[in-house]
Amino acid sequence: MSEPVKKEVLIRARKILDEYLNDQNLRKTSERYAVLDELYKLPQDEHIDVESLFLKMRNKEYTISRATVYNSIDLLVECGLVVKHNFKDKNALYEPALTYEHHDHLVCNDCLKIKEFLDPDIENIKERVGLSLGSKIKLHSLVFYGDCTIPNCENLQRKQAV
């Protein structure tokens, strides 16, 4: 697992949220900042669903409602601080946007583990497609789904035990 986000990135994220809330005439609640903080404290390669984030925050003794966590996540996606992913057979998963270097995903059909990767060939295809269709492609989303071939996969064993 990689390191959590650096403090400077969290400070920058809080400033962006400040500006967004000001621009939208929305209240600056401690709960919104707490959700932002907890998301940005995740390891950089971790994806989390809202329910898991809510439970994590409750276990840390935050007094926050499930609805507030859901609404805060939506707000953070809206203002560009969080990236939302919709993978097959999974709830929506989220990761911080300021540390987000574009990457694609492989989701294992068996153990459900998500692996991130960056392949220059895919980036080249994106450029060629954009040129051929007269578009400058800004974003793309690519998810591969495959079957687990890892011997003694810990996640696969956990899934079979359920």
Between CA 64 and CA 54 the distance in angstroms is 8
Token pair of 99, please?
A: 């540390």
Please report the DSSP string for 81-106 in residue order. SEEEE--TTS--EEEESTT----EEE
Token pair of 89, please?
A: 């057979």
Which positions make up the binding site for Zn(2+)?
Answer: 108, 111, 148, 153
Which positions make up the binding site?
Answer: 102, 104, 108, 111, 123, 140, 148, 153
Please check whether residue 5 is in contact with residue 44, taking contact to mean a CB–CB distance below 8 angstroms: yes
Between CA 118 and CA 97 the distance in angstroms is 16
**Beta strand pairing status for 104-108 and 143-146?**
parallel
Please check whether residue 41 is in contact with residue 5, taking contact to mean a CB–CB distance below 8 angstroms: yes
Which positions make up the binding site for Fe cation?
Answer: 102, 104, 123, 140
Residue type, 88: K
